[in-house]
Chains A and B, each alone.
Chain A
Amino acid sequence: MDKKLYGLMAEFDSATELVDAARATRDAGYRKTDAFSPFPIHDIDEALGIKRSILPVLVFFGGITGLLLGISLQVFVHYIDYPLNIGGRPYLSWISFVPPAYELTILLAGFTAVFGMLFLNGLPRPYHPVFNVPRFALATREKFFLLIESADEIYDYDDTKGFLEGLKPQEVFDVEE
């Protein structure tokens, strides 16, 4: 035990086993946990107690910003800065303003979704300790992994290892920092 560990990781064969193990881990009081699977598992957020992302709220305000930006841009251009008579219509032809304002709403909402997702996920991130476990590459193919970080309050190498082994995984790995 000289090396400092990032955490302990257990490997499972199926999504059901992973979800059951995640529930047990949460019930045992672990909070700094994570799960890895080749495909999205609906129940895993609830099993690990992961809070819902605030991304939708950010996207909503991104969209509102785009909408206001689109309207004010057109009001400024067509009404304040350079009023132009287009086919005898009023300068404030709000009907014609809708498509560009709508497009800007979508654009900023889309940008917020993509960049907000990257930011909230902590990406880009060139290095992560979990890749120190060679078998972790299988997380993108057919295996399911559950991680308990050593930063967790009730983490203790021997206890936690014993606990993970009690969940009947294929194998438990030390994840080096």
Chain B
Amino acid sequence: MAENYNAPAELNKFRTIALGVGGIGLIVWAAGTYFHLEQGLRSWLLGFIFWGGITIGGIGVTMLQYLTGGAWGVVIRRIVEAASRVLPLVFLMWLPLAFGITHLYEWTHLPPDDFTVIGRGAYQTPMWWVIRGLIYFALFGVMVYLLNTWSANQDKSADHEEAARWLGKATAFSGPTMVIYVLVISFATVDWVMSLDPHWFSTIWGLLFVVGWALSTFCFSVLMLAWLGDRAPFNRVLGKRHLHDIGKLILALVMVWAYFNFSQLLIIYSGNIPEETGWYLTRMTPGWFWIGMILILFHFAFPFLFLLKQDWKKNIRMLSSIAIFILLIRLVDMFFLISPMPRIAEHGGSLVLSQSFSWLDIVGPIAVGGIWLWYFFGQLMKRPLVPVMDPFLEKAIEHGQGH
């Protein structure tokens, strides 16, 4: 167990680049936002939901791999743990939304006789929106803290038996916490994203994010594996079977993403009642319709067919290509959810695609992403890249070497 599993020092170079890109992005974003506050906040929300989703997804995947066991979990555990430890930064990134709440959410400007204002009472007020946000981050924070502390304690264990006790603790914690985790995401995404349109609601909304964020997290982890797997020490760990297993999980999540989105569409289409159809009517106007079609084809059909092939799931070049592709299309998906939502400047109306799309929608995710990656690389370098004392480490490495 004397082997050295520290992250390659080359990561420092990427930290600097990420911080530089993020810093410049942040300045450009701030300048753009100065002239157009509502658009700036919305683009920030886009970046926050996309990158924050990898952090929150990291919590979920950490718990998932404890619950299912398996070699793939041992291999990506440290990557998803590092992603989850970006949470303090994600909290800071949430603050602009909290401070800009009256410039972002239309419900802060509704007349008092609006049915949602009457029906939702204090729940739909800026104060309670902020208090709920603090509660979500507190709950996520407890999960991140405990899971990461136990994992660090496992590394310090004297023997495998002590290590196994920490593993058991994390596993026992993950079961019930997974339920809370999904509920917190459901409440949080209703507050952060769905409430952009206060008059529309969907009960599957939270699950769209649970699945989408898990998918982003797996794809991001594959990119990290592709980079780390080329270098010492991770090239001794990563095998084809690990990639095959993770590829299968990505395939499954691509299908679940399509399943949940289609469930929402089918139910609203069948019900055909005015409270619900507006959301899709906006997105079926010419420009937005094509974004929707692109999502069906390239967020579902293409990755689905691609990932059916076993050889491509086992090939790191192929798997990381599709992972980058899915991450980009995830951003388009988030754009499709966020951008057509009613705007304050339009008095609750939506914009057509050509007016809705702003250059800030590109700068926002780059600014958030640069800073996120800078923090992430720092966290990744703090701990060994594999759980060195995990009783299943040897077995997990061996599993990967098969065919």
Contacts and interface: CB of A to CB of B under 8 A. Distances in A.
Interface centre among A60, A95, A96, A99 (most CB of B within 10 A): A95
Nearest to B280: A95
B85 to A, nearest CB: 36
Given A42-B403, A87-B272, A95-B266, 7 more contacts: A46-B403, A60-B308, A89-B272, A93-B269, A95-B269, A96-B269, A98-B262
B270 interface: yes
Nearest to A42: B402
A96 B266 CA distance: 7
A43 interface: yes
B352 interface: no
Given A60-B308, A95-B265, A98-B262, A43 B270 contact: no
Interface residues on B, range: 10 to 19
A99 B266 contact: yes
A61 to B, nearest CB: 12
Nearest to B311: A52
A98 to B, nearest CB: 7
Given A42-B403, A46-B403, A98 B266 contact: yes
Contacts of B269: 93, 95-96
A43 B266 contact: no
Nearest to B270: A96
Contact of A43 (B262, B265, B272, B402): B402
A111 B402 CA distance: 30
Interface string A47-89: 0000000001000100000000000000000000000000111
A105 to B, nearest CB: 12
5 contacts: A56-B310, A93-B269, A95-B269, A96-B266, A96-B270
Contacts of B265: 95
Interface of B: 262, 265-266, 269-270, 272, 308, 310, 402-403
Give chain B's interface secondary structure class: helix
Nearest to A95: B269
Interface in A107-153: none
Nearest to B399: A42
Nearest to A88: B272
Nearest to B259: A102
Interface in A3-23: none
A135 B269 CA distance: 63
Contacts of B262: 98
The 4 closest A-B pairs by CB, nearest first: A95-B269, A42-B402, A46-B403, A87-B272
Contacts of A42: 402-403
Contacts of B310: 56
Contacts of A95: 265-266, 269
Contacts of A87: 272
B308 A43 contact: no
A99 to B, nearest CB: 7
A53 B270 CA distance: 42
Nearest to B268: A95
B281 to A, nearest CB: 14
A70 to B, nearest CB: 15
Interface string A17-37: 000000000000000000000
B45 to A, nearest CB: 29
Contacts of A56: 308, 310
Nearest to A93: B269
Nearest to A102: B262
A133 to B, nearest CB: 30
A98 B269 CA distance: 12
Nearest to B309: A56
Nearest to A94: B269
B94 to A, nearest CB: 36
A89 B270 CA distance: 9
A87 B271 CA distance: 10
Contacts of A99: 266
Interface string A147-177: 0000000000000000000000000000000
